[in-house]
Structure 1
Amino acid sequence: MTMDIVKAGASNEEDEQIIKPQASTPALDTSDWPLLLKNYSKLLIRTGHFTPIPHGCAPHKRDLKSYIQSGVINLDKPSNPSSHEVVSWIKRILRCDKTGHSGTLDPKVTGCLIVCVDRATRLVKSQQGAGKEYVCVIRLHDRIPGGQPQLARALETLTGALFQRPPLISAVKRQLRIRTIHNINLIEFDNDRGLGVFSVSCEAGTYIRTLCVHVGLLLGVGAHMQELRRVRSGAMGESKNMVTLHDVLDAQWLYDNTRDESYLRRVIMPLETLLCTYKRLVVKDSAVNAVCYGAKLMLPGLLRYEDGIEHHEEVVLMTTKGEAICLGIAQMSTLEMSTCDHGVVAKVKRNIMERDLYPRRWGLGPTALEKKKLKADGKLDKYGRITENTPAKWKADYKDYSAAPGEAPAATPATPSAAVEATPKAIEATPAAAEEPAADEGDSKKRKKDEETPEERAERKRRKAEKKAAKEAKKASKGKKDDSE
C-alpha cells in the first residue's frame, strides 16, 4: 500500500516537471529593464531563434576598467574655468587616455556638461548636435511701460528660426547663421530692478547672449545677459545623476585607498545612457563582430526592431545583452523589415564597440568556404576575383554583392581569340597605360627645374612670393570687412 502511494507521489512530481503546451506566451514586464533593454518586449520580433555566444556583458556588469573606458559623466560645470580645462582635469583625475565634451560652455556659464571618457568619445559628435536647454537671467537697461506682459510678448516673438551673429567676444568666425528657438518661457520679472528670468529650449549652437541683445532691441531699452545655466544637453538633464568635480575626485580617492568602486560606478554612467532616445535594432550575437569591422547589417542578422523606423533615419544597433554596437543609418523602413526576406537593414555610421569582443562568425557558409578553396588552388586571385583559371560554374553562379550597383564584375577574357582581337584603343585605356603619362609628366617637371639657371630660379621664387603675399593681403582685407559689418 505504501509503495503504491510513493509511486503515485513520484508520478505526480514527474507530471509537474513536464513543460506543457500553452496557448499564449506569458507576459514579461520589461519596463524597468536598464538602458537600451527598456521595454524590450515591445520591440517587433523578426525571429526568436539565435545562438547565444558567451562573450560581452551587460553595460552595468562590465569590469571597472572597461566600465570607465566606456563611460560618460553628467558634470555640473563650475563658473570661471573653461570647458577645456574642466575636461583636462577629469582626464588627470581618472588617469584615462582621452576625454571629450558635448558642447562648449563659456567660462562664466554653469550647468550640464557631458564628459565622455575614452571609448565614449566616439559619441561626442552626435551629442554636440543635440538640442540644449538653458535658464537665463537678463538685465534690461531701463524700465518698460508694459511690464511683464510686454517682455513675454517680445520673447514669444523670438521663437522659430532666427538670424544670429556670434558675439564680439566669441572665439569663432563672426558669420551670420540661422538657429532655431523651439520654446521660451518667462519665469519671473522685476521691472524696478530690470531683471528677468526665462528658460529657453533651442538648437545646438544658439547664442543666448545674442538672443538677450535682440530682446533689448525689440523692447527699445537695450539688454544684456547677466547669468546663464545649462539645464539640459541632449539626453542628459540636471535631474539625471548630475555630479560635481569634487564627486569625481572623491570617488577616485575612495577607490585608490579602499578599493571601493561603488562611488565611481555611481559617478560614471555607461555610454548607452546617451543612446536611449534612438530607435533600436537588436542584432544576433553571430553578426556583432562583422558589424564592428564595418559590414552592413543584413536582414538574416536582425532579431528585433523598433516601430516607426524610416529610410535614412539614425538608429542604434545593440546586442541581446543591451550593449551598443554602433550608430547606423537605416536602409529599410519598419514595414520593409517585416515583409522582406533579404537585403541591407542598416549601414554603419559610427562604430562604438571594440573589434573582436565577440568572435568572428563570417566566412563559414558554403559559398565562402568554396571561395576560400578556389583561392588556395589558384583559381581566384588573392582578392577573390575571377581569373582565366576560374571554373565556368563559379563565373555563372557567383554574385559579388560588395560591388557598386552599376559596376560590372572584374573578369579576364575567357578565350585567347578575344584577347587577340582587342583593339589598340582598349589597350590604351588600361589603368597601367593611363598612369605612364602622369609619371612622365612628373619626371619632365623635375628635369625642367634641374636645368634652370640661377637667374630663372630666382625669378620663379620671386613670382611665387608675390602670389603668396597677394593671397594673404586679400585674406586680411576680407577679415577687416567682416569685422566692420
Structure 2
Amino acid sequence: MSVVAKGTEADYSIKPQANEPAVDTSQWPLLLKNYSKLNVRTGHFTPIPNGSSPLKRDIKSYISSGVINLDKPSNPSSHEVVAWVKRILRCEKTGHSGTLDPKVTGCLIVCIDRATRLVKSQQGAGKEYVAVIRFHDTVPGGEAAFAKALETLTGALFQRPPLISAVKRQLRIRSIYESKLIEFDNDRHLGVFWVSCEAGTYIRTLCVHLGLLLGVGAHMQELRRVRSGAMDETKGLVTLHDVLDAQWMLDNQNDESFLRKVISPLETLLVSYKRLVVKDSAVNAVCYGAKLMLPGLLRYESGIEHHEEVVLMTTKGEAIALGIAQMSTVEMASCDHGVVAKVKRCIMERDLYPRRWGLGPVALEKKKMKADGKLDKFGRPNEATPAKWTSGYQDFSAAGQAAIEGPTPTAQSESGEPMAVEQPSPAKKVEESADAEEKDGKRKKSKHEGETAEEKAERKRRKKEKKAAKKAAGGKDDGSDSD
C-alpha cells in the first residue's frame, strides 16, 4: 500500500520548471500585435527610457504624429477639407491619402505633421468604392446581364479620365481587382455595385464602359469610398464636427480623451507591413539615415524577401522608418554581419533617442587626438600624429576615395618589367595651369586692346562709311575691318 501511495504522490506533484509561461501578445496594439511570434535574432539589448508607446504619447506629440480617418462630406473638395482640419487643430502640415471629387463622400485619410511622410505610400494603396449607376434605358437581360458585365470588366483595363477632370486626358491602364453586384432595379434603371480597384481608377469611366457593354448607355449617379489603404469606414470613421468638438473639449474643458478617440497614431497605417525590431541604441542612427546592420536587429518577421518594403520599429512599438529589405528572412537567421535594410522614408524625429555611435574604443581615441591637436579637425593625420597611429589605423573613408579615383597607372620598360608612372603633384598641376592660362592670354589678345573711347568711336565711324560706300557701289559687303 505504501508503494502505491508513494507512486500516486509522485504522479500528481508539481515539478519545478525552467521555462516561463508564454506571454499572450495577440491583443497588443498596432505594431506590437503578435510580437511573440516574430523570429528572435537576439534578446539582449539595453533599454533606453526615451520614446514612448504610440498610444501613450503626450497630447502634443500624439496630434503631430496622428492620422484621421475622415468621412468627407459632399460638395467641398478634398483640399478644402484638409485645410479646415489644419485650421481646427492649429497644426503646421496636413496631407491626404488621395483626392476625392467634391460630390464623392467616404474615407479620406488626413495625415498630420510627422504623419505626412506616409502620404505617398497611402496614395498608391488600393481603394474600395460603392457606386450607384443610372442606365439610360431598360437593360436587356436584367440583373444577370449586369452581373456578367461587371465580371467582364475586371483585371487590367484601358481608361481615359472623364471630360471634367484635373489631370491630362491620356489613355492609361488601371486594374479592377474585384467587383460585386449589391442591388439592381431595372424598372428605375438603377444599379448599386461594390468595386475594389487600384489607386487612380475612375469609377465614372467604369460606369460609362458598363453602359456601352450593355448597349443602353449609363453614367455614375453617386459614389462613396468605403476603404482607402489600411483604413475603412468600419474603423474609427469620424466627421469634421467630431474633430471640431474634440478640439473644443481640449481647449475649454482640458479633456483630451475625445481628441485621442478622433485621432489615431500613424502606426495604424503600417500594420500591413512586415516588421523589423531595432535595438534602442541603433534607433537614432537610423533616423540620421544609417543603414540597419545585423547587430542592431532584435526580431524580424517571417517571409521577408529581397527589396521588399518593411517597417523598422522600436521595442515600444514606434515606427522609425520605412525601409527596403537587403536580406531575406533566411539570410537574417544565418548571417552574423551585413546590411539588413536601407532607409526609404524616415518617420521618427531625430534625437528623440540619444546618439549611440562613436562610442567605441577607436572612435573615442580618435576624438581625444583631435582635441589634443594630433589629428586635424577632419580626423586626418598631421605633423603631430604619432607613427603608431599612422601605421595601425585604417581609414575606410580614405580607402573608399582611393577606390573611386582608381588604381595608380603603370607602364612597361623596354625590358618588359612594369614601372610606376609618375603622378603629377598638386604643385605641378597649379604651375602647368598657370602657364597654360598665360599662353591663352597671349594668343587671345585683341588688336584693338587698350584703345580709348574716342579711338573706338572713330574706328566704328570709318567702318560705317566704308559699308555705305560699298553699298552705293553695288559691291558685296564682306564685313571686314579696314584697321
With the shorter chain as reference, the TM-score category is 0.7 to 0.9
1:60-116 CA-to-partner distances (Å, cap 9, x unmatched) read 111111110101000000000000000000111111111110000000000000001
SS at match of 2:396: coil
- Work out whether 1:222 is the aligned partner of 2:255: no
- Flag the structure with larger Rg: 2
Once the two structures are TM-superposed, the CA of residue 384 in structure 1 deviates from its matched residue by 3.9
Whole-Å separation in 1 of the counterparts to 2:290 and 2:232: 35
- Work out whether 1:359 is the aligned partner of 2:362: no
SS at match of 2:74: coil
2:27 equivalent in structure 1? 32
1:374-423 CA-to-partner distances (Å, cap 9, x unmatched) read 544666554445779685765666262797699358999xxxxxxxx986
- Work out whether 1:114 is the aligned partner of 2:121: no
Matched residue count: 416
- Work out whether 1:274 is the aligned partner of 2:272: no
**Against the structure 1 CA distance between its residues 212 and 55, is the aligned structure 2 distance closer, same or farther, given a 3 Å change threshold?**
same
1:193-218 CA-to-partner distances (Å, cap 9, x unmatched) read 11111100011111111111111111
2:341 equivalent in structure 1? 346
Once the two structures are TM-superposed, the CA of residue 372 in structure 1 deviates from its matched residue by 2.7
AA at the equivalent of 2:69? N
1:285-340 CA-to-partner distances (Å, cap 9, x unmatched) read 11111111111111111110101111111111111111111111111111111110
1:437-459 CA-to-partner distances (Å, cap 9, x unmatched) read xx99xx9xxx99xx9xxxxxxxx
Deviates more, 1:216-225 or 1:78-87: 216-225
2:99 equivalent in structure 1? 104
Q: After superposition, where does 1:186-205 map in structure 2 within 5 Å?
A: 186-205=181-200
1:91 equivalent in structure 2? 86
2:235 equivalent in structure 1? 240
Once the two structures are TM-superposed, the CA of residue 176 in structure 1 deviates from its matched residue by 1.4
AA at the equivalent of 2:279? K
Whole-Å separation in 1 of the counterparts to 2:297 and 2:399: 23
2:396 equivalent in structure 1? 400
1:203-258 CA-to-partner distances (Å, cap 9, x unmatched) read 11111111111111111111111100000000000011000001001111111111
- Work out whether 1:265 is the aligned partner of 2:260: yes
2:54 equivalent in structure 1? 59
SS at match of 1:407: helix
Given candidates 200, 209, 214, the residue that maps to 2:204 is: 209
AA at the equivalent of 1:282? V
Given candidates 155, 166, 169, the residue that maps to 1:160 is: 155
Deviates more, 1:374-383 or 1:111-120: 374-383
**Against the structure 1 CA distance between its residues 45 and 433, is the aligned structure 2 distance closer, same or farther, given a 3 Å change threshold?**
farther
Structure 2 gaps, min length 5: 1-14, 409-418, 450-483
Once the two structures are TM-superposed, the CA of residue 370 in structure 1 deviates from its matched residue by 3.3
**Against the structure 1 CA distance between its residues 345 and 105, is the aligned structure 2 distance closer, same or farther, given a 3 Å change threshold?**
same
- Work out whether 1:333 is the aligned partner of 2:328: yes
TM-score by length of 2: 0.79
Identity among equivalent positions (%) equals 76
Whole-Å separation in 2 of the counterparts to 1:135 and 1:434: 75
Once the two structures are TM-superposed, the CA of residue 26 in structure 1 deviates from its matched residue by 1.6
Structure 1 gaps, min length 5: 1-19, 413-420, 452-485
1:135 equivalent in structure 2? 130
RMSD value over aligned CA atoms?
Answer: 3.3
1:69 equivalent in structure 2? 64
Once the two structures are TM-superposed, the CA of residue 434 in structure 1 deviates from its matched residue by 12
TM-score by length of 1: 0.79
Whole-Å separation in 2 of the counterparts to 1:138 and 1:390: 82
2:366 equivalent in structure 1? 371
Whole-Å separation in 2 of the counterparts to 1:431 and 1:347: 40
1:244-279 CA-to-partner distances (Å, cap 9, x unmatched) read 001001111111111111111100011111111110
Whole-Å separation in 2 of the counterparts to 1:33 and 1:269: 15
**Against the structure 1 CA distance between its residues 34 and 432, is the aligned structure 2 distance closer, same or farther, given a 3 Å change threshold?**
farther
SS at match of 1:28: coil
Whole-Å separation in 1 of the counterparts to 2:57 and 2:334: 37
Whole-Å separation in 2 of the counterparts to 1:303 and 1:114: 32
1:10 equivalent in structure 2? none
